[in-house]
Structure 1
């Protein structure tokens, strides 16, 4: 397996093509990065900003620079000794612009007789393919233009010989039917990605479809140009394990990680031949270390009750079409029983037969689904079992990640993909246990703190973690009474977001709150917007920024907690980078980064600034812990370079415990016999209690130097206050 020493995630798009990435590669090599980790690179929908809407998996994206540009980037990386990890989307393709996707266009033109019909998961027994795109003007707005059926800006191909007559007559002769957009959630007869009608699922379980969708990327692997693959959303596949085994055989030696959300205590299926996950569970564990359990706020509504309510709503509304397809396969079961079952899984998906206990746990909450479960267990590879398992993850994602995590806002630092807002903090012992387990079972898994899917960046979460150590509630109540939003939970989310991401522009904050409110689906939503609510949300940032006295109070509070937030940020980064697994650095987060959910976290990164700062650091500059964030860059470069140049240092894992009055504020561990990482946790409480005082940390025998400062460590049990006198973190390396 070509395991990278580290990865650096780059979001490719209109402003970051192959040529620009090749220009950034020199900086990444100097930073110490082991492999560039790229978002999808195949041909995507016109103007795609993310690449997950692949329209032609047989070629590199022309918008990014095409095959010539891809090859040039691959040569540059290889010349620098860096690998390339590529994001692969096996579950679906983009169909928003129908004829930008040759396969979908052909299916629309020829229907069931298309050579590509079997590539898609379409229920042809229900008649023509439904395309939910029409508005209130309906079929009356159709026209025929230059061999296409059009609806406003949308164009659809025509079956041969069907061009004559009125637009309605032409439409009625096609292998598809354009229907009202609301029918997508209830009547759709093709499988999709979650509730996104413009992403049509493909049948990658078919060896022919697998070869067609993966052939190009596998060619890159065979040529040595791609060294690793990140698999997007495996839970959407009919047989994730079978798919991963086929991929493992087709890409021998490639490092494989899966974007799999694991519940607390859940493990990957043992039969999956992968190095691990993309690291959401590590992000939860690391962030939790900096949350003070003593600061847990009261719970207005039980989290799990809220989650179940949202999952039931997702299954019965957003995903009703999938529910109906399952109910048709289950003898004696009605849609209500299917909904109850889908909303009752304790995890995103059970993997039969390995995950039978998860299915049985769901049955305990949904006894009316017993006939469905019995049929699934009798035929765990049948269509019923497959579709229930595929859909349970969709229900969990839409109900929990995309709804509850925008409603349950008592402490939003924990409302993260892979997180559990009901678990207030992670103890050092829990972290050590998880880290030792990771090193033993999945030493080559990816770990991360920020991704393109996280709802707020690692530095926003690090600052918000400080709120668990201070009295924020009194301030919040005063501010909320003065400037509330139309819905109470959104008000709480808004003020935490302002504090966590400050300074932030009015527009960025307005855009974030608009998305959050619509995802929460309480006062407004994507499908049923409430104009007066949307307007109030859009105006709220301006009102806050326009009240000088209030803004001064917010600014002053942020200033009070900023240094503690920086301490948390550095602690998180050190623990993730030096801990077990292959650490990923999301683009730009080697400096302070206060981004929010996408598309905010896909804003352009100033790589020249980072390269200039790195050059100063390499000249011997030891920066202060200040607004520049240069100290985070120093930390990142030191650890990544050690991982690249001295990988033997990063084997094994052994907890170390400080001794003395402030021992609980030091998180320390040893890797192998030559590296010790030390981080400060709960810095406000540390200062309140009088600082480190006589707290010491016993190092393994030997001569040690702090790699961050270059200062030798002379004592075998140095005072923690001395060890952390310059920075709130230290990285001791045996000389």
Structure 2
């Protein structure tokens, strides 16, 4: 497909819809979003999801729109309002799985539980029917006791476990106790602890309440997409973002089928996390990703690489161990494969053809099976990317085999057998399962474990990021941006999403620590000695997040730390909770905030880094909004917004203050760069409006190097011959050296007719001084007249 002429909007604004932010609420927001300059409303999933869901990714009925969010009439009204404001409508969809937490809420799942293999929906779900009854891990840890607590409904058509209900197969409940009736069903209720190792249906990562569906089958694709495609056919949807494509059995075929269904004139994106240097498969007819790679490149250019040494030393001394990011990630991946994803590993191992040369002929059967399972686990942990896409992704598979052999050379024969079988039949079940599961191991082992353990500098511990790479050199940044413009001009770019570990402004403030690593190390040493936590690496995480999100309530910080400690799985976990550890962690924020002397010291420190942090925030935002790709603004982040991982980043947004500040800006107000955040709103509105109303200037890309003694503190580029964006980087160092001095910014073509749309002022000269260009704000967006 021709990606350079795609129907992409000028920009998007991500809105999380729920019972608390309904379609009606979104209609009321549209005048503000229109005034802000937004090109498209980018909505979270709209289909019927679990009751009270604040995200919509737990769709329980793909055949109808969410009633909680406003129903069909509300959806139509929202689309009509979007059109009235001449905006596009972009929709998030979830093809990989559906929610099954409350079986009665999902008619398809309920029917499968009631009728088993005979259900008309039996092929809808990815169930291992040969493994026996479907295991439902919903009971308490004491399974025997929990089973004794089962009851039957008065008409004996449902089994009950407290508030949960499950169907009774026709004729199977006419007699006997609840326990006897349970034994006759197509499913078995088991302890929640058994889900990790014994589950008989594929799920989303390790979430047993999200069951995978088989959209690779044409009839399943049709019934799961019928409602969404009805909206597309009616002209209500201009773009689609596909959630979690790596969970699908054949993402490429799915994308081709979806593209054929929606036509060539709609924007199509995938939520694909790319490794450094990785690109989407050429055969996918999509316009790009949801932008995590851009996030890491843009943020990285504001991180001072000179801070790496001292922060690495701090982490080693504070934790008492020297460990590379790669080592930490591999250990965490193996742990995920051996525990929470053991069921998936076992299922793959059963498909592996054991090589004749293997010692399985001499070993006991159990030893041979363990050997194969270990080889599968090591292979899954060796992928350099989330998954390969055979046959295109052979290089990633070969790397995985090589890495696995390095860790376990004694398993080379089994590893080669797996590889050979996968390459011989890239569409076969073994290849499919390995590719689906490698992404699960990466996500759960790296994002959700190692990123909470390896805490040298948590600004880099972000989805799609590589914490071992300390910052992005400007030259590398420019290459990445130029490549995006040339190859994927309609891809989405982002800085914050509903899944980011920390908001863009938290990361921008934390980037300042890389400029003052010695001072930061001294602070951490004193503060941690006064208020220790049960784990030393958790202390590094806690203090960085505390200053990054400051001011933060004890309640918010407690919720975050509790989640972080359980994800790290070093001293407590979701599966094996340690009560006294959990209590100590939960109590820590309140104890810190009750220490008046320490709070005063923290406030003084945060006050010192907040100014440079805001400069970084404005720089990041400008480079994203002015750079190649289609920028997305996550709800509320047009002001400085200091949130941590969900649910913290899904708190209500104060829309009233944003409307008020935008109105003041439109009256000519040039705000200070302060905590109110109006300066970020000014930068955001200036760039979004320009993108929407002068799209012709956002073409092409070339670096624009500054000249002079402070040149390294500027990052600038030109789009077309009529737009220049320039931002300040490493602001602490800039101040320390006395400012811009003799540094100038030579503008394209030697022209002097430029205007900064942020400050609404003329820029004089073909090579203006950066002291003049950036006298009011640390960023500037220069445009030539049309």
Question: TM-score if structure 1 supplies the norm length?
Answer: 0.99
Aligned to 1:267: 279
Tell which deviates more after alignment, 584-593 or 45-54: 45-54
Shift of 1:2: 2.4
Quick one: which of 204, 211, 230 aligns to 1:193? 204
* Structure 1 residue 422 corresponds to structure 2 residue 422: no
**Would the aligned equivalents of 1:705 and 1:712 in 2 still touch at CA under 8 Å?**
yes
- Cα distance in 2 for partners of 1:714, 1:493 equals 46
Quick one: which of 147, 158, 162 aligns to 1:139? 147
1:384-441 residue CA offsets vs partner (Å, 9 max, x unmatched): 0000000000000000000000001010000000011000011110100000000000
- Cα distance in 2 for partners of 1:316, 1:494 equals 28
1:657-711 residue CA offsets vs partner (Å, 9 max, x unmatched): 0000000000000000111001000000001111100000011214101101111
1:132-176 residue CA offsets vs partner (Å, 9 max, x unmatched): 111112311110014210111111011111222100111011111
Aligned to 1:348: 386
Aligned to 2:362: none
Tell which deviates more after alignment, 134-143 or 304-313: 134-143
**Would the aligned equivalents of 1:221 and 1:254 in 2 still touch at CA under 8 Å?**
no
Aligned to 1:631: 679
Residue pairs, 1:143-162, within 5 angstroms:
143-146=151-154, 147-162=157-172
1:640 alignment partner, SS class: helix
Residue pairs, 1:70-89, within 5 angstroms:
70-89=75-94
- Cα distance in 1 for partners of 2:30, 2:761 equals 31
Shift of 1:366: 2.1
Quick one: which of 45, 69, 73 aligns to 1:68? 73
1:479 alignment partner, SS class: helix
Aligned to 1:459: 505
Quick one: which of 228, 239, 252 aligns to 1:241? 252
- Cα distance in 1 for partners of 2:259, 2:555 equals 45
Structure 2 residue ranges without an equivalent (≥5): 1-5, 317-321, 355-370, 406-410
* Structure 1 residue 102 corresponds to structure 2 residue 113: no
- Cα distance in 2 for partners of 1:361, 1:714 equals 54
1:604 alignment partner, SS class: coil
* Structure 1 residue 366 corresponds to structure 2 residue 404: yes
* Structure 1 residue 313 corresponds to structure 2 residue 318: no
Shift of 1:482: 1.1
Tell which deviates more after alignment, 246-255 or 298-307: 298-307
- Cα distance in 1 for partners of 2:347, 2:523 equals 50
Aligned to 1:322: 344
**Would the aligned equivalents of 1:6 and 1:33 in 2 still touch at CA under 8 Å?**
yes
- Cα distance in 2 for partners of 1:327, 1:537 equals 39
- Cα distance in 1 for partners of 2:657, 2:403 equals 54
- Cα distance in 2 for partners of 1:498, 1:102 equals 44
Shift of 1:580: 0.2
2:642 alignment partner, SS class: coil
Shift of 1:538: 0.9
**Would the aligned equivalents of 1:657 and 1:697 in 2 still touch at CA under 8 Å?**
yes
1:52 alignment partner, SS class: coil
Aligned pair count reads 735
Structure 1 residue ranges without an equivalent (≥5): none
Tell which deviates more after alignment, 592-601 or 147-156: 147-156
- Cα distance in 1 for partners of 2:298, 2:404 equals 34
* Structure 1 residue 708 corresponds to structure 2 residue 754: no
Shift of 1:224: 1.2
Aligned to 2:231: 220
Aligned to 1:681: 729
1:304 alignment partner, SS class: helix
- Cα distance in 2 for partners of 1:628, 1:366 equals 51
* Structure 1 residue 532 corresponds to structure 2 residue 580: yes
Aligned to 2:261: 250
Shift of 1:47: 1.6
1:232-276 residue CA offsets vs partner (Å, 9 max, x unmatched): 000000000000000001001210111111110111101011111
* Structure 1 residue 45 corresponds to structure 2 residue 54: no
* Structure 1 residue 181 corresponds to structure 2 residue 192: yes
1:593-650 residue CA offsets vs partner (Å, 9 max, x unmatched): 0010000000011111111111111111111111110010011011101111000010
- Cα distance in 1 for partners of 2:239, 2:557 equals 36
* Structure 1 residue 12 corresponds to structure 2 residue 17: yes
1:208 alignment partner, SS class: helix
Shift of 1:25: 0.9
Tell which deviates more after alignment, 427-436 or 132-141: 132-141
Aligned to 2:182: 171
Aligned to 2:215: 204
- Cα distance in 2 for partners of 1:45, 1:546 equals 39
Pairwise CA RMSD of aligned residues? 0.8
1:93 alignment partner, SS class: strand
1:179-216 residue CA offsets vs partner (Å, 9 max, x unmatched): 11111111111000000000000000001110111111
- Cα distance in 1 for partners of 2:577, 2:192 equals 15
- Cα distance in 2 for partners of 1:366, 1:712 equals 60
Question: TM-score if structure 2 supplies the norm length?
Answer: 0.93
- Cα distance in 1 for partners of 2:22, 2:681 equals 24
**Would the aligned equivalents of 2:240 and 2:268 in 1 still touch at CA under 8 Å?**
yes
Tell which deviates more after alignment, 61-70 or 136-145: 136-145
**Would the aligned equivalents of 1:670 and 1:676 in 2 still touch at CA under 8 Å?**
yes
- Cα distance in 1 for partners of 2:585, 2:593 equals 14
Residue pairs, 1:214-613, within 5 angstroms:
214-252=225-263, 253-296=265-308, 297-298=311-312, 300-332=322-354, 334-367=372-405, 368=411, 369-470=415-516, 471-613=519-661
* Structure 1 residue 725 corresponds to structure 2 residue 775: yes
2:662 alignment partner, SS class: helix
**Would the aligned equivalents of 1:106 and 1:114 in 2 still touch at CA under 8 Å?**
yes
Shift of 1:222: 1.4
1:472 alignment partner, SS class: helix
- Cα distance in 2 for partners of 1:325, 1:195 equals 14
- Cα distance in 1 for partners of 2:441, 2:722 equals 46
1:334 alignment partner, SS class: helix
